[in-house]
């Protein structure tokens, strides 16, 4: 039984580290800031998920058992999209990527939306 648990833990660790490595390779390999953003989302989901699963199996098989990992997973799932969204917003704001097409129903994207009285200021700061 303990051997099966150890094998499961090892398997989860390997899967998790493979996905973490693929995420790191993607982060280095891609040459555009927006495509580069796709790599960390992989590490954040399956990579970390498999590592936490390994930790959970290990604690239930060899220790007292722990469910903290479920909380870590939940917080990661809630916070990871927010940081990705902020990096994307910075890219759009600084013009570090291909300019996005204009929205189909409204005037502009909220990141590019500059209030009327600040237009002049925004133009000078970009040059």
Q: CB of 3: closest distance to other proteins in angstroms? A: 26
Using the rule CB under 8 A, give the single segment among 5-13, 92-100, 116-124 that binds other proteins: 92-100
CA dihedral 30, 36, 41, 47 (to 10 degrees): 40
Residue 108 interacts with other proteins (CB under 8 A): yes or no = yes
Helix (H, G, I), strand (E, B) or coil at 32: coil
Q: Which residues of 33-49 are buried (b: 16+ CB within 10 A; e: fewer)?
A: eeebbebbbbbbbbbbb
* Rounded Cα distance, 1 and 7, in Å: 10
Assess 17 for contact with other proteins (CB under 8 A). Answer: no
Residue that the structure tokens 């390997």 belong to:
14
Binding status of residue 13 toward other proteins by CB under 8 A: no
Q: Under the rule (CB under 8 A), what is the footprint of other proteins?
A: 18-19, 22, 25-26, 29-32, 34-35, 37-39, 41-42, 44-46, 66-68, 70-71, 77-78, 80-81, 84-85, 88-89, 91-92, 98, 100-101, 103-111, 113
């Amino acid at each position: 039984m303990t051997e099966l648990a150890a094998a499961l833990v090892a398997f989860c660790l390997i899967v998790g580290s493979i996905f973490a490595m693929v995420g790191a390779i993607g982060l280095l390999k891609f040459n555009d800031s927006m495509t580069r953003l796709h790599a960390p989302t992989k590490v954040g989901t399956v990579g970390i998920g498999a590592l936490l699963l390994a930790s959970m199996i290990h604690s239930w098989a060899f220790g007292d058992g722990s469910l903290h990992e479920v909380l870590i997973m939940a917080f990661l799932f809630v916070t990871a999209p927010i940081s990705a969204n902020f990096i994307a917003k910075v890219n759009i704001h600084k013009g570090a990527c291909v300019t996005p097409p204009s929205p189909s129903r409204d005037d502009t994207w909220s990141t590019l939306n500059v209030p009327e009285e600040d237009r002049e200021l925004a133009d000078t700061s970009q040059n």
